[in-house]
Structure 1
Amino acid sequence: MGRNTVGREARKKGYHTAEAIQRGIEKHLSGLSIRKAAKDCNLPYPTLRRYVTKYRNNPSCRLEPHYDASKIFTDQQEDSIKEYLLDCANKFYGLTSKDCRRIAYQLAVINKIEMPPSWKVHEMAGRDWMRGFRARHPELTVKKPEPCSIARATAFNKINVQNFFDNLKEVLSRNPSFANGSRIYNLDETSTTTVQRPHKVLAAKGRNVCKVTSGERGILVTTCCIVNAIGQALPPAMVFPRKNFKAHMLYGAPPGTLGLAAPSGWMNTELFVEVMKHFIQFTSASTDNPALLILDNHESHLSIEALDLAKASGVTVLTLHPHTTARLQPLDVGLNGPFKSFYNSAIDSWLLRNPGKNLSIYNVAECVGIAYMKAMTPTNITQAFKKCGIFPFDDQIFTDIDFLPSEITNRPPPNVIDVEKYPDDVGRCGSPSILTPAIYSDDDETDAEIENIMEELPYNKPLPSTSYHTPSTSEVHITPQAEVSAAITDDRESNYIFQSQVMSSPNIVTQEIASCSKETSQPTASTSRVQISSEIKTSSPKMSGGSNNFISPKIFRPPLKAGPRKTIKRKLGKSMIATDTPEKNALAEKKQNKEKKKKLAKVVKTKLFESIKREQSDTSDDEEFICSGSSSGGDFFIESDEEEIILNDNFSPLSRKPRPDDYVIVAFNIKKLNVFYVAQILEELEEEDGDYYVSFFKLKSKITQTFSLPLEPDTAAVNKTDIKYILPLPNINGTVRRQATYKFPIDMSLLNLRY
């Protein structure tokens, strides 16, 4: 019978027990017919007849089906596969059905379990086994995962979440009026475009179906939603992609909606000041009636004007850590999703009422008004705040399973490593005296065969040779009465297994490494890790040699762990109370430095163009240049009676102090190699980093030694010690409409010039 035959019941097997068969046989032997005995014992007649025949031939025969006769793995072994699959899925690195079939094949090969010949041909388990495996473990199912970026998966960790809850707890302790949740608000923007995402429709089978939309690409209108922890929703703010806002753009919007306009359609710092005024108006916030506003730390939300206005009005602004809003922001957790669904439905309804018309930005407010009332219900709002642990306050609402994706990139502190807390980093400080090949059984030959099999498996490569430093007694403290079993694996799919054993009476193991010496004969591989694992012992009669040691997928598969942390050059965002004076001052200083750099860049660009214009105006159209050739490079000849100067790396001290508008040679040390650039001094700095602010030239040709200014000014601050030579004035070739070419009357062919 076909497995997936429609209209037929699933095959019933294994519903009768040995006791029921025994009673049926006894009743038949006492005089009843087989059919009547089968009916009295609720057994199928053919089944009882078959067992009666077997019993007559052999009274000690088995009286129940032996369904495990063709079973590949034991229940414990299949449980290890299931646990590994669930662990990978919880860490956002879920495996497909084919991956599971490959793991089953590798598991059978490593543990020397008998398998069908087709497994060896395809190097994976069969579809029949996969179908049965899923039937035996109904908690496993095939799902289409939601895409999740690495930043979002790793940023939601215990430290960042606890930092947010600590800030929230501090704010709640400052203002007792926040305890009832009536003054806790959340603000977030979402996109509402003129092109909807169509819902599923009914159509004929075997044919493609389409749904009308307003255009190929939608026009963005930003909708800023504000909700309260007790279930209230404030009127939203809408940003239209126009230079000036018109009142008719809000036709059909929720009453009290704030209308704004920006050419891009996005929220910016200037518009957010108006949103803050809108929030203060509808919340009646003041110093006597404070309010808490939770939002993400987008640049538009952290404008100094908005923070000053909020602080003066008694509004405390609490920001979330970047990339954690999907779990910590109520609007993202339980409100934006329903709002988008109702908004798409509203657009579908509008298109049905207006066939042949395009939905424009002037109709978006009407659809937003319909969706906003349906999605922002008191039940949805309160449940979203509760799910985030904001109100009622619950900083333990997230479990260890929620933080599993971030455990992949968690690293220990640089100096102190605890084996129980950070087992995956002890290998960097391990001692070679305690590293021995993994012991799978008491037979060395069997162990060698297992290692050879593991080398031949897919995704397995030998571990690169690594020299380990032996820590001194002061560096490593090993508690007595300890026994450690460790499997060292490599992140780059190298799956040799080692064990570090400190033999004594079995007890709880604790090991603390205070520091790792930097004196090593060879740098330790950054990808080597120690995975503390215990041997899973099962009695499997199918394993050759009578070995009872079972190797689970967690041991021979590549571990899900990131490599060593790289140096972070930029300062990352964080959760903070933005209206506090220290945080607000830091934001103001950051904004001031940014504006100062923009202003300086504008001045530099102006000076560059003025210099080019002045130099080109000094040369008349009828005057011949000293050097001839094209601006794109060619043969240039210097007409001078003086001997040409040839420069090399041995520069003499400068004869005078460099001045603005001087052409100089600047040296940089890159990877222990000196490289040189030609630049023009723009101004002398006093308080900034460096002594001079210069604009670098672009080398067009090393053969002709010609230079030109880049399309975008390449400016930087350099130290006086980096200026090695003051060049003479260059010969300029070119016109105003074409890019000028600079040729210096000096030979720089011996210098390591860079393009």
Structure 2
Amino acid sequence: MRTYKRKTENGTIPPEVIRQGVQKILEGGKFATVAREMHIPRSTLKRYTQKFLIEGGTSTNDVSEVPLENFIPRYKTRKIFTAEEEKSLENYLIRASQLHHGLSTSEVRKLAFDFAEKLVKDIYHWEEAKTAGKDWLWAFLHRNPTLSLRSPEATSIARATAFNRSVVNAFFDTYESLLRKYSFSACDVWNLDETGPTTVQNPRKIVAEKGKNQVGRITSGERGVLVTMCTALSAQGIAIPPFMIFPRVKYLPHMMKGSLPGSVGVAHPSGWMTGENFVVFLEHFIRHSKPSVERPVLLLMDNHTSHVTIESLELMKKSRIIVLTFPPHTSHKLQPLDRSCYGPFKAYYNAACDTWMTKNLGKSISIYDVAELVGTAFPRALTPTNITSGFRVAGIWPCDRFVFADEEFLAAEVTDRLDPSGIAQRAGSEMFVGQDSGSQSQSEPSSADLQALVGSTSAALRPEVVRPYPKAPPEKGDTIKRKKGRSQVLTDTPVKNALVEELSAKKKRKGETEEKKTSKSSKNTAKEMPRKALFVEADNFSSDSENEMVFDDDSDLDVDMDDCTTEKDEVSVGDFILVEFLGQRVKKYFAGEVKEDTSEGYVVNFLRRKSPSWKFVFPEVADESLVHSFTSY
């Protein structure tokens, strides 16, 4: 029971102690003397001795050969599963979690019921619900301390299947060849990546009243504004000052108020890294890493499109920066910044934001405060210890392709795909085969097979027979043709030339597309309604105020074209005119005041009718338009 508290000490004597006591009795010891020496109740010692003799034992037999299960109290021997069966359940749950398909509590209880049913266990108290009880689950977890309830980290199918042994070996083959070719030292191996501090922090845990359902902590807002931060680390434990991109059209120096010395800031409307800003970052990186012909540097980074542009490739080639990209969707394992630096950085950044909110009550964090907060968190998180640890656990420095344990590649076994490309459209194809589903790649074992397993002395029924491990069906081929990403040395001349040619062709296609859109837009502009301006005598209107014109009566609504002029020279600023809009089937007239006389025509501020009266007013936001031509009737 989850809430049961033991009231006696019955059943707490280890079975080894009881077996030793029985052995002493068989060797001629007195029940009272042995019970007192071994701290065993005399009735308990007498009962187990009689049990041993009834089951065929004699005083000449060695009690040590008797299984310990014979000296365990009856209530323990009535467990649903034996120790071996529970161990197989434990191993199954651990392996399923390593496959990134761990079972929830309800799924574990259902698996236990199915497993017990196949083993023909006495589970009459589970029959109604068709699942194991909650008390059994909590007792099972208590008996197996290696298991616990965990909150899993969301892992995309792309990352789970892309990180496999063949992809990692291919990356390290290229990496090791570069180390041999250029004889890089720790100070020459660099890694760069971006992260996104926002203006709304994730609050830390606080001390509050126990049992309270909701506990609040002030944050800067509902949704934050992202500011991109990019930096680079060396395997020697050095980090260059941060490079920040603010979501603004124009960069202003006060955006970097309170930042670390040497930091650089730029602006872009999106706040994201772009090809142009990446070139600026490379210049910032070159100033600190100082690559040269005699001492080139190795830069490890991902394949993001902003990193691979014609300008950046030319600059890296010219500056003697050797660039090696990570395989797609593997940066969570291979990138030092992700392994040991950006996690602590976000924790320290959130702590700095909490402190800022406490010191500035009633205020919100803006993008102009982010640089100062980054300056507080950056040196505390990106320490030489954290940096070198990130390179070590990723196998980058010292170089070790065998740093990853075999269980870290288990998730890729679900699909056994060597290349991560094209898996998005097949994201829903994985399943636990053996469950109820529309399509199964394996079928459940037959009852005859189960009986054979149960009755066999050499094979035992295990949970994976009842519920097989997840396995995706065979691939049917890519339905969408796309270029497959891979790890490569971008600054190698053949690779660089191919990329430059590809990017040039892409840029050309984009220019052609924009040209077609511009041409289409100009055609649509040419089809706009032609406008004719007609000058109307001011006597037809009366003015109640500067912004209102009122018709005297309904007869004034009928404007005689004979009373209008089409002579451009007779129109001056301040006059009211009727502008005729010619549609395909109808003509519409709008009244307005001439505000400006230009070489191209007149700028007219149009009146709007104030329904339901026939009062025309100028709107709060001026409705101005250029009238190009005057046409005679």
On whether the aligned pair clears a TM of 0.5, the verdict is: yes
The 1:497/1:303 distance shift into structure 2, 3 A limit, reads: farther
TM-score (normalised: structure 1)? 0.61
Of 588, 595, 598 in structure 1, the residue corresponding to residue 500 of structure 2 is 588
More deviation in 119-128 or 389-398? 119-128
Q: 1:135 to 1:175 in 2, by over 3 A?
A: same
Deviations 1:340-385 (A, max 9, x none): 1011111111222222222222221111111111111111111110
Counterpart of 2:409 (choices 400, 403, 408) is 403
Q: Give yes or no for the alignment of 1:385 onto 2:391.
A: yes
SS in 1 for 2:227: strand
> In the TM superposition, what is the alpha-carbon distance from 1:593 to its structure 2 partner?
2.3
Aligned equivalents of 1:155 and 1:309: distance in 2? 31
TM-superposed CA distance for 1:601, in Å, is 1.8
Q: CA deviation at 1:2?
A: 7.6
For the residue of structure 1 that corresponds to 2:242, the secondary structure is strand
Classify 1:362/1:136 alpha carbon distance in 2 versus 1 (closer, same or farther; 3 Å): same
- Number of residue pairs aligned between Structure 1 and Structure 2: 509
Aligned to 2:465: 555
Alignment check: 8 A CA contact 1:318 1:576 kept: yes
CA distance in 2, matches of 1:144, 1:619: 67
Q: Which letter does structure 1 place at the counterpart of 2:46?
A: V
In structure 2, the partner of 1:700 is: none
How far 1:272 sits from its partner (Å)? Answer: 0.7
- How far, CA to CA, are the matches of 2:460 and 2:367 in structure 1? 64
Distance 2:228 2:71 in 1: 72
2:190 alignment partner, one of 142, 165, 185: 185
> Which of 510, 516, 521 pairs up with 1:604?
516
1:109 is aligned to 117
Gaps of 5+ in 1: 414-456, 464-489, 500-533, 630-755
Aligned partner of 2:444 in structure 1 is 495
Map of 1:198 onto structure 2: 203
Does structure 1 retain, via aligned residues, the 8 Å contact 2:35–2:45? no
Alignment partner of 1:289: what SS?
coil
Relative to structure 1, the CA distance from residue 555 to residue 5 in structure 2 (aligned partners, 3 Å threshold; closer, same or farther) is closer
Task: Give runs of aligned pairs for residues 178-577 of structure 1, distance below 5 A.
Answer: 178=184, 180-207=185-212, 208-411=214-417, 459-460=435-436, 490-491=440-441, 494-496=443-445, 550-565=460-475, 566-567=477-478, 568-577=480-489
> In structure 2, what is the equivalent of residue 435 of structure 1?
none
Question: Which SS does the other structure have where 1:182 is aligned?
Answer: helix
CA distance in 1, matches of 2:51, 2:10: 32
Q: Which secondary structure does the structure 1 equivalent of 2:127 belong to?
A: helix
Residues 595, 142 of structure 1: alpha-carbon distance in 2 compared, 3 angstrom cutoff: same
Which amino acid counterpart does residue 125 of structure 1 have in structure 2?
A
Conserved? CA contact 2:324–2:490, under 8 Å:
yes
Q: Output the CA distance in 1 between the equivalents of 2:73 and 2:11.
A: 15
Percent of pairs identical after alignment?
38
Query: Is the 8 Å Cα contact of residues 535 and 549 (structure 1) preserved in structure 2?
Result: no
Measured in 1, the distance between the counterparts of 2:159 and 2:48 equals 64
Alignment CA distance shift 1:411-1:277 (3 Å): closer
Rounded Cα–Cα distance in structure 2 between residues aligned with 1:375 and 1:462: 49
CA distance in 2, matches of 1:65, 1:605: 85
* Higher Cα Rg, which structure: 2
Counterparts in 2 of 1:570 and 1:292: CA distance versus 1, 3 Å: same
CA–CA distance in 2 between the matches of 1:354 and 1:243? 28
CA distance in 1, matches of 2:270, 2:582: 50
Three-state SS of the structure 1 residue aligned to 2:230 is strand
* 1:186–1:330 CA contact under 8 A, matched in 2: yes
Aligned counterpart, 2:157: 150
Equivalents in 2 of 1:237, 1:494: separation in Å?
55
Residues 552-607 of structure 1, C-alpha deviation per residue, up to 9 Å, x if partnerless?
A: 23233244111232315111221111111222222222222222222222222233
CA distance in 2, matches of 1:462, 1:224: 46
Q: What's the secondary structure of 1:318's corresponding residue?
A: strand
Segment of structure 1 superposing worse, 130-139 or 98-107? 130-139
Deviation of 1:70 after TM superposition, in Å, equals 0.9
Structure 2 stretches of 5 or more lacking a match? 56-69, 420-432, 533-579, 587-633
State the one-letter code of the partner of 1:110.
K
RMSD after superposition? 3.6
Note the C-alpha offset of 1:274.
0.8
Aligned CA distance change for structure 1 residues 622 and 401 (closer, same or farther; 3 Å)? closer
The answer on whether the counterparts of 1:24 and 1:41 sit within 8 Å (CA) in structure 2 is no
User: What is the Cα deviation at residue 157 of structure 1?
Assistant: 1.5
In structure 2, relative to structure 1, the CA distance for the partners of 1:119 and 1:548 (3 Å cut) is farther
Distance 1:280 1:157 in 2: 34
Within the alignment, does 1:39 sit opposite 2:45 as a pair?
Answer: no
Matches within 5 A, 1:88-167: 88-111=96-119, 113-167=120-174
Partners of 2:17 and 2:38 within 8 A in 1: no
Cα deviation, residue 399, structure 1 = 2.8
Distance 1:410 1:498 in 2: 30
- One-letter code aligned to 1:562: A
Q: Which has the higher contact order (CA 8 A, sep 6+)?
A: 2
Distance 1:249 1:380, change over 3 A: same
Q: Secondary structure at the match of 1:362?
A: helix
Q: Map Cα deviations across residues 163-210 of structure 1 (whole Å, 9 max, x no partner).
A: 22122112212211x1x3110111111111111110011112343321
Match of 2:42 in 1: 48
Determine the C-alpha separation between the residues in 2 that align with 1:595 and 1:204.
60
C-alpha deviation, 1:13, in angstroms: 4.3
One-letter identity of the residue aligned with 1:563:
P
Q: Quote the Cα distance in structure 1 between the aligned partners of 2:410 and 2:315.
A: 40
Which stretch shifts more, 208-217 or 229-238? 208-217
d(CA) in 1 for partners of 2:288, 2:357: 34
> Partner letter of residue 583 of structure 1?
V
SS in 1 for 2:408: coil
Aligned-pair CA distance for 1:38: 2.7
Return closer, same or farther for 1:130/1:371 CA change in 2, 3 Å cut-off: same
Does the 8 A contact of 1:92 with 1:405 survive in 2?
A: yes
SS state at 1:185 partner: strand
